[in-house]
């Protein structure tokens, strides 16, 4: 009895020590999710407002919180699986009373009327001896699943931060486009007024006046579309960052010209796909299904269970802890399923087919990943070229406007024609703005395609 009390005390202390140690360990672990944000990368765009939005999204976005909760749930599943490798100890009391019944016979001893109480208060222990490593492999399978869930979380962070950056850049773009469009509407309003004066003085046909008024309506419609798109982008950015109560029209942003344009590499090594979450998930899933196949094979083998009880048994509750009431037993129970209707064989075949499917998914992931990396780089290069061409076109329009202004100053060009030249310059500026922001967004797409890594130095790290 003393030995039993000592063992129970040691068991309780050991459990308490493990819980305390685990709590301290969890407390000292840094938040790995900060690394998923990759703020060092986003700072390359030279915009503190952008990094503030990404940090805000990290704190508020529900998708990120759900992904983190999935990881925590997966950790608990591992603990549940690991518990299957440990002995199970519990209390299972038995209190009953036999009432007066028919004659009870114990060999030659006959009891004509038999009734009594029985109190049995034992600790029950059972432990499946993991000779074949089946329980260990089950835990290993859940650990692989945990890694898959962590890659899902990382993918959520890459997708979310990329979406925040893209919507933020679009918001900046529409700010500048609206500013240019308002200037165009203002100029065209004045042009239409001057054309109407010319028409009243008989200096132009009515069709010319109608064309200018028609152009004014088109420019006004385009302005309304820009304003609507800006509001939509602002609301989408508000959802991504979780800014519910803030006036979205007053959301902070930087002027588009201050954003840094990142240089593009000539090519990206195909090995960068090893950083992508979907590639890592495909690898982990193959390993997980491989482990599941081993578990399915070992499930055909016999199992060996150790069991035992230790407690107090008495026929009188007041004497339950008295002398000679301690009772214990220990046993060893081998077991094997002789017939399960083919369920185990079906499970084994299903797992092997799942392994083959996982391998095909892995091959497809490789091809898709390489395609997305190459497509994103090709698209970025095209947008870079278009941006450079838009700069050339804007510079030419600017030179033409400078010449037109000189003609106007010497009286060789009318004010009406000068305003039309100014409109052409503003249109060229709109094209430049579009091309610049599209180029910025294309660099974000490369970042996303290579698994949230810095593509400016990625080839050096391979």
Measured at the CA of 315, the angle between CA 311 and CA 318, to 5 degrees, comes to: 80
* Residue-level pLDDT at 34: 84
Beta carbons within 10 angstroms of residue 151's beta carbon: 21
Minimal CA–CA distance to 373: which of 315, 437, 452, 314? 452
Please state whether 452 falls in left (phi above 0), alpha (psi between -120 and 50) or beta: left
Residue 64 token pair: 């990120």
In this predicted model, what pLDDT tens digit does every residue of 326-378 receive, in sequence order?
A: 888 888 888 888 888 899 899 999 999 999 999 999 999 999 999 999 999 99
What does the pLDDT read at residue 245? Answer: 56
CA atoms within 13 A on the CB side of 38: 22
Task: Give the CA distances from residue 118 to residues 113, 238, 327, in Å, rounded to whole numbers and listed in that order.
Answer: 17, 69, 13
Please give the backbone phi and psi of residue 409, each rounded to the nearest 5 degrees, phi first.
Answer: -70, -30
pLDDT at 7: 44
- What span, in angstroms and rounded, lies between the C-alpha atoms of 216 and 206? 15
Task: Spell out, as residue ranges, where the chain has pLDDT lower than 50.
Answer: 1-27
**Helices vs strands, H then E, count in the chain:** 10, 7
- Please report the pLDDT score of residue 248 as a whole number: 62
End-to-end CA distance of the chain: 65
Check residue 113 and give its pLDDT. 74
What's the pLDDT score for residue 13? Answer: 47
Nearest one of 421, 395, 10 to 187, comparing CA atoms: 421
What is the DSSP secondary structure assignment for residue 333, as one 8-state letter?
A: E
pLDDT at 5: 46
């Amino acid at each position: 009895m003393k030995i039993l009390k000592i063992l129970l005390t040691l068991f309780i202390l050991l459990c308490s020590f493990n819980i305390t140690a685990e709590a301290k360990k969890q407390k000292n672990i840094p938040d790995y999710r900060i690394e998923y944000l990759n703020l060092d990368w986003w700072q390359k765009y030279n915009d503190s407002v952008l990094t503030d939005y990404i940090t805000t999204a990290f704190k508020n976005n529900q998708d990120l919180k759900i992904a983190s909760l999935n990881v925590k749930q997966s950790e608990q599943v591992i603990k549940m699986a690991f518990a299957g490798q440990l002995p199970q100890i519990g209390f299972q009391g038995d209190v009953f009373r036999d009432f007066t019944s028919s004659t009870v016979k114990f060999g030659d001893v006959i009891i004509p009327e038999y009734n009594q109480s029985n109190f049995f208060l034992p600790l029950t222990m059972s432990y499946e001896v993991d000779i074949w490593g089946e329980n260990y492999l089950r835990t290993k399978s859940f650990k692989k699943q945990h890694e898959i869930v962590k890659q899902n979380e990382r993918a959520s962070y890459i997708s979310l931060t990329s979406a925040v950056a893209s919507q933020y850049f679009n918001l900046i773009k529409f700010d500048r486009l609206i500013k240019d469009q308002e200037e165009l509407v203002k100029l065209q309003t004045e042009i239409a007024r001057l054309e109407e004066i010319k028409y009243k003085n008989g200096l132009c046909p009515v069709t010319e006046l109608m064309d200018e008024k028609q152009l004014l309506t088109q420019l006004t419609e385009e302005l309304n579309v820009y304003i609507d798109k800006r509001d939509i982008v602002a609301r989408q950015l508000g959802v991504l960052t979780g800014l519910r109560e803030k006036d979205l029209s007053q959301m902070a942003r930087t002027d588009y010209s201050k954003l840094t344009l990142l240089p593009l590499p000539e090519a990206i090594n195909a090995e960068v796909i090893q950083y992508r979450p979907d590639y890592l998930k495909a690898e982990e899933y193959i390993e997980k299904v491989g482990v599941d196949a081993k578990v399915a094979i070992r499930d055909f083998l016999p199992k060996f269970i150790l069991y035992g009880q230790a407690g107090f048994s008495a026929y009188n509750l007041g004497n339950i802890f008295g002398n000679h009431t301690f009772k214990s037993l220990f046993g060893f129970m081998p077991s094997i399923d002789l017939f399960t209707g083919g369920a185990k064989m079906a499970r084994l075949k299903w797992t092997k087919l799942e392994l083959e499917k996982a391998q095909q998914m892995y091959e497809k992931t490789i091809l898709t990943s390489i395609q997305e990396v190459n497509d994103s780089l090709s698209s970025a290069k095209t947008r870079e070229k278009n941006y450079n061409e838009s700069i050339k076109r804007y510079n030419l329009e600017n030179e033409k406007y400078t010449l037109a202004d000189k003609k106007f100053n010497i009286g060789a060009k009318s004010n009406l024609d000068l305003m039309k030249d100014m409109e052409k310059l503003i249109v060229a500026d709109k094209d430049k703005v579009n091309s610049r922001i599209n180029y910025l967004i294309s660099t974000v797409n490369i970042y996303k395609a290579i698994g949230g890594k810095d593509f400016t130095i990625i080839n050096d790290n391979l």
